[in-house]
Each structure stands twice: as structure tokens, then as C-alpha cells.
Structure 1
Amino acid sequence: MAAQQSQGIQTLLEAEKEAAKIVQQARQYRTQKLKDARSEAAKEIEDYKKAKEAEFKSFEASHAGTTSNAQVAVDKETEQKLQAITDTYEQHKGQVVKKLLDRVVLVKPELHRNLKKVGA
């Protein structure tokens, strides 16, 4: 009977060792699958990033001409406005100088309205 129990225990130990091997293999398999999934995800991310960068470059190239055209239009409009301001300045500078000189040279002395009359 001791031999039978010894053999049963031996069988259980072997089964336990085999189960431990299976668990270890499952862990290694899971770890490997996680590594594979991460590397595949990184590859997909890199591919997606490259595709989006290419799409952006294409968009940028197609709209770059629009930017330069807009800059030319803005420069032209600015030049027109500057010319209009310069023309207005040239037309009115004589009048402005005359008004300024009249204000400085032609002084009409008067008492301030808040000054009290002396002796009153």
C-alpha cells in the first residue's frame, strides 16, 4: 500500500511539474504576444504618422501659392493706403501749419473765468 501511495504521490508531483511547465509556457506566450502587439502597434502608429505628414505636406504645397498671392494683395493694398495718406498730407499740410501758427502767435489775453475781481 505504501508503494501505491508513493506511486500516486509521484504521479501527482509529475502532474504538478507538467502543470507548472504549461503555466510557464502560457506566461511566455502571453509575454511574447504582448511584445508582438506593442511592436505592431508602434509600426501602425509610425505608418499613420507618415501618411498624415505626407497629407499635410500635400495640403501645404497646394495652398502655398494662395499664401504668396494673399501677401501680394496685402502689400498692394497697403501701398494704396499709404499713397492715399500721403496725398491727404500733402493737400492739408499748409492749412495745418497756418492754424498752428495762428494759435501760437495770435494770443488774445483775457482773465480766467474763475478769477475774482479785486475790490468787488
Structure 2
Amino acid sequence: MAQSNQGIQTLLEAEKEASKVVAKSRQYRTQRLKDARTEAQKEIEALKAQKNKEFVEFEKQYGGNTDETVTKANAETEEQLKEVNTLYQKNKQQVIEKLLSGIVNVQPQIHPNAKKAKPAA
């Protein structure tokens, strides 16, 4: 019986030792997960900072200054308005003459597709 008790005692000690190893492994795994999360968060922050920097550079390069853009658009609009007014003043009289000649000089004609009506019998 003593040998049986000693075998059981050895098994219990081995089980305790195994549970300690399992607990230690779980603790190690948990710590590794925490470290991995921390490292991943640092990488994410670094990548985010880099992308923000690239965006600011891109915006500076291609965005331009909105005041300059508005000023340039206004200048182009004014130039086009002047051109339209110049053409209007230049061609105004000719347009009026063409309109009046079309209204005053009417030459009535029968449409080529119109057919002569037959008298009713």
C-alpha cells in the first residue's frame, strides 16, 4: 500500500508541476499578445503619421491656394465677359438689320409640299 500511496503522490506532484507549466505558458502567451498589440499600435501610429504627412505634401503640391484659384477664375471670367461685350457691340447693328429685313421683307410662298385642294363635287 505504501508503494501505491507513493505512486499516487508522485502522480499528484507531476499533475501540480504540469499545471504550473500550463499556467506559466498561458501567462507567457498573454504577455506576448500584449506585447504584439503594443507593437502593432506603434506601427499603426507610425503609418498614420506617415500617410498624414504624405497627404499634406500632396495637398500642398496639387491643392494650391484657394485665394489664388478664386482670383485666377475671376480674372478669366472678366476677360471672357469683355470679349463677349466687344463682340456684342461689334455685331449688334448687323443682327438688328437682319431681323428687321426678315420681318419687313416678307415674300409669301406656297410650301412645296402643299397640294391644291380639289373642289367638292
Q: Is 1:23–2:29 an aligned residue pair?
A: no
**How many residues are paired up?**
118
Q: Shift of residue 77 of structure 1? A: 3.4
RMSD (Å) for aligned C-alpha atoms: 2.6
| 1:50 to 2:12 alignment | no
State the Cα distance separating 1:71 from its structure 2 match: 5.0
Structure 1 unaligned regions, length at least 5: none
Provide, for residues 62-84 of structure 1, a one-character-per-residue CA deviation record: whole Å limited to 9, x for no partner.
66656655554444333323222
Q: Which one-letter code corresponds to 1:79 in the other structure?
A: E
Alignment-derived partner of residue 9 in structure 1: 8
Structure 1 residues 84, 3: closer, same or farther in 2, change over 3 A?
A: same
Q: Which residues of 2 match residues 11-90 of structure 1 at below 5 A?
A: 11-61=10-60, 69=68, 72-90=71-89
TM-score by length of 2: 0.76
Alignment-derived partner of residue 91 in structure 2: 92
User: For each residue in 1:28-75, what CA deviation from the matched residue of structure 2 results, as whole angstroms up to 9, or x when unmatched?
Assistant: 210121022112211221133123323433554466656655554444
Q: Tell me the TM-score normalised to structure 1 length.
A: 0.77
Q: Which runs of 4+ in 1 moved over 4 A?
A: 61-74
